[in-house]
Amino acid sequence: MWAIGWAAAACCAAAVGLLAEPAPHRLWGRTAAIGYLSAALLAHVLPGRCTRTYSSAAALTGAVAVPFLQLALTGRAQSEVGVVERSAALLRTTGSPYLADPATVTDYNPYLPGMSLFGLPAALLGEESAAARLFGDPRLWCALVLVACLAGACAVLRRGAAHRPNKPPTRGSSTPWAALSVLVASPLVALPLCVSGVDLPLVGLCCLGLALAAGDRPYAAGLALAAACALKWTALPAVTVACALLASRSGARAATRCLAAWSAGVLAAVVPFALAAPGPLLDQVVAFPTGRAAVATPADSPLPGRLLADLGPPGWYAAIALLVCGGVAVGVSLVLRPPADAFTAVDRLAAGLCIAFLCAPAGRFGYFVLPLVLVAWVRIATPARRPVPRPEPRHPIARHRADSEESSRLEHHTRRHQRLPAAAGRDRDVRPRHGHALPGR
């Protein structure tokens, strides 16, 4: 099974290496295909207990470590990495991460001010040495935040407070760390980690916020989601889902505490920059991602909302109307059937995000990494538990004896609890258990 999975990942990587247009994607595809093929070979050859460990290590090496080092040391990445680095440099020099008069696509910064923090190491270390290029690369810090948040979210759920209710007793639960390594090594995470990485901290913080909400920790959940919303406004639906989850588990006060903590965090992280440069922030964070800026957004994947927006202003407004209707539908579902645990909350959030990405007037297929990782993470963190089976006797004679004892026990239990006949009257024909009539008086 592991060999088949890694072989499928190798096919995906090979397709990226052959068909993708950006050079970083092609480099990742060629390198990752070799890593996944090595993992599939190890999974096929090694015994079952060693399969996941060594095959995951091979996949992590070939699909994450090697291509990341190649791209980071040579300075090759998607344009988002350069945008984050420039925003950090602007933040140091001007106090605002946004250019006043952007002229080209790369001049626009579609992220909220918190994203510029990932570019500060590059602004401080420079590019004079290989170590400075490596440790200053924003992708490294984005990956570290993702791994730390996923591990912390798993730890919160594993403490027992956030598991799904009414679970049967289990023999024990497996640790999620090996499964998390498989998730990170998969093409779903490995590709964006190596070529861009800017969406990964958003994914990790959303997972952590929902885990804290499911663990009845409203203040911590609100702060984690505030950190996510300080990166991209895509995290806003997670706040609604977390509040609904807290309201269903702990009442309206818990949801209010979460909302208060989130509001305080967002105000502290965003409002100072919005007051310093309100025009550039609105133009680059709101108008540019939705296709209403002077420069067209590169997020032009052929999704339904994008196809509608290409028809002109009526199509753009139709896409916005569909987006609003989808959000209202998800909100109504949260009110009528609020989530009671992490599973249902994550599934509801993933559904809402998929609707938003499909109906948005501008989008990319890569945006679906967020809902897919959310769904995979929650199933890794709280796996379905199986009841412990009752051991059966192996020897045929012992099994027959056990079956005989069980049948005799059931028969005795039935006769013991059988209803006794009523008291005999003068004109009543009362029959005992054996079915024979009593003699008349």
381-414 pLDDT per residue, tens: 875 544 434 444 444 444 455 455 555 554 554 4
Q: What is the pLDDT of residue 387?
A: 41
- Is it the case that residue 278 has pLDDT exceeding 70? yes
- Is it the case that residue 267 has pLDDT exceeding 90? yes
Q: What is the pLDDT of residue 3?
A: 85
The more confident residue out of 252 and 387 is: 252
126 and 53 together in one domain:
no
Q: What is the pLDDT of residue 176?
A: 73
Whole-number Å distance between alpha carbons of 397 and 153: 51
Q: What is the pLDDT of residue 277?
A: 83
Q: What is the pLDDT of residue 75?
A: 87
**Could you tell me if 64 and 190 are in contact, meaning their C-beta atoms sit under 8 angstroms apart?**
yes
In sign, the C-alpha dihedral spanning 309, 311, 312, 317 is negative
Residue 361 is assigned to a structural domain of this protein: yes
120 and 254 together in one domain:
yes
Average of pLDDT values for 174-188? 83
82 and 23 together in one domain:
no
Residue 409 is assigned to a structural domain of this protein: no
Whole-number Å distance between alpha carbons of 67 and 29: 9
**Could you tell me if 97 and 113 are in contact, meaning their C-beta atoms sit under 8 angstroms apart?**
yes
Whole-number Å distance between alpha carbons of 375 and 72: 29
Residue 49 is assigned to a structural domain of this protein: yes
Q: What is the pLDDT of residue 407?
A: 57
- Is it the case that residue 128 has pLDDT exceeding 90? no
Domains of the chain: total: 2
Of 369, 384, 385, the residue nearest 183 (C-alpha): 369
Rounded percentage of the chain residues whose pLDDT exceeds 90 = 51
Q: Of 76, 92, 111, which residue is a domain's last? A: 76
Q: Of 342, 366, 381, which residue is a domain's last? A: 381
Whole-number Å distance between alpha carbons of 343 and 433: 54
Q: What is the pLDDT of residue 411?
A: 53
**Could you tell me if 236 and 344 are in contact, meaning their C-beta atoms sit under 8 angstroms apart?**
no
Domain hosting 10: range is 1-76
Residue 422 is assigned to a structural domain of this protein: no
Per-residue confidence at 166, pLDDT binned at 50, 70, 90? very low
Average of pLDDT values for 4-12? 93
Q: What is the pLDDT of residue 395?
A: 47
Residue 430 is assigned to a structural domain of this protein: no
Per-residue confidence at 175, pLDDT binned at 50, 70, 90? low
150 and 284 together in one domain:
yes
319 CB-side CA count, 13 A = 24
287 and 366 together in one domain:
yes
The model's pLDDT over 317-336, given as tens digits with 9 standing for 90+, comes to 999 999 999 989 999 999 99
286: left (phi over 0), alpha (psi -120 to 50) or beta: alpha
Residue type, 202: L
| pTM of the predicted model as reported, rounded to 2 decimal places | 0.81
Whole-number Å distance between alpha carbons of 255 and 243: 5
Distance between alpha carbon 115 and the CA centroid of its chain, in Å?
Answer: 19
Average of pLDDT values for 182-195? 94
53 and 151 together in one domain:
no
Q: What is the pLDDT of residue 394?
A: 46
195 and 281 together in one domain:
yes
Of 49-53, 97-101, 243-247, least confident by mean pLDDT is: 49-53
83 and 195 together in one domain:
yes
Q: Is 389 helix (H, G, I), strand (E, B) or coil?
A: coil
The more confident residue out of 263 and 292 is: 263
The mean predicted confidence, pLDDT, of the chain is 83
Taking residue 385's Cβ as centre, other Cβ atoms within 10 Å add up to 15
Q: What is the pLDDT of residue 1?
A: 78
Whole-number Å distance between alpha carbons of 241 and 339: 8
Residue 389 is assigned to a structural domain of this protein: no
110 and 229 together in one domain:
yes
Q: What is the pLDDT of residue 391?
A: 43
98 and 214 together in one domain:
yes
86 and 64 together in one domain:
no
Classify residue 287 by its DSSP letter: I
66 and 85 together in one domain:
no
